[in-house]
Amino acid sequence: QVQLVESGGGLVQAGGSLRLSCAASGRTFGNYAMGWFRQAPGKEREFVAALSWRGGNTYYADSVKERFTISRDNAKNTVYLQMNSLKPEDTAVYYCAAHSTSFNIVATRPDRYDYWGQGTQVTVSS
């Protein structure tokens, strides 16, 4: 069992930055590929970014490429999402998720993930 707790959300103006954190507890954090997803009101949950358990492989949704960066610190059991040049369309609840895997892969589909956090709200004003 892995528990995930997101933090770092808030209200920011367009063009600003936020860094989300996801603290994991429970089983060995290093055995999990990690991902960030988001869900805006009235929309389906969508993939944002993913990171392999060793951290060497990353993958981003086209909408956030060159603006967002996913990273992890396995010693701190934490994964981060640095968000720069934020746009109003980035407004959503952001969720981190953990995918148990023996391979150094990334996962982009929500149904591949085994554990989810409760989410943190990000609001970008225009």
Instruction: Give, as one character, the DSSP assignment of residue 88.
Output: G
Mean pLDDT over 71-97 rounds to: 96
Q: What tens digit of pLDDT does each residue of 22-61 get?
A: 999 886 767 899 999 999 999 999 999 999 988 789 999 9
The CA distance from 92 to 2, in Å, is 24
Q: Edge to edge, what strands does the sheet with 68-73 contain? A: 2-7, 18-26, 78-83, 68-73
Per-residue model confidence (pLDDT) at position 54: 80
Q: Cα(first)–Cα(last) distance of the chain, in Å? A: 40
pLDDT of residue 105: 87
Distances (CA, A) of 123 to 1, 8, 86, 98: 30, 12, 9, 24
CA–CA separation, 122 and 72 (whole Å)? 20
CA 80, CA 36: separation in Å to the nearest integer? 9
Tokens of 2: 């892995």
Q: What is the pLDDT of residue 26?
A: 80
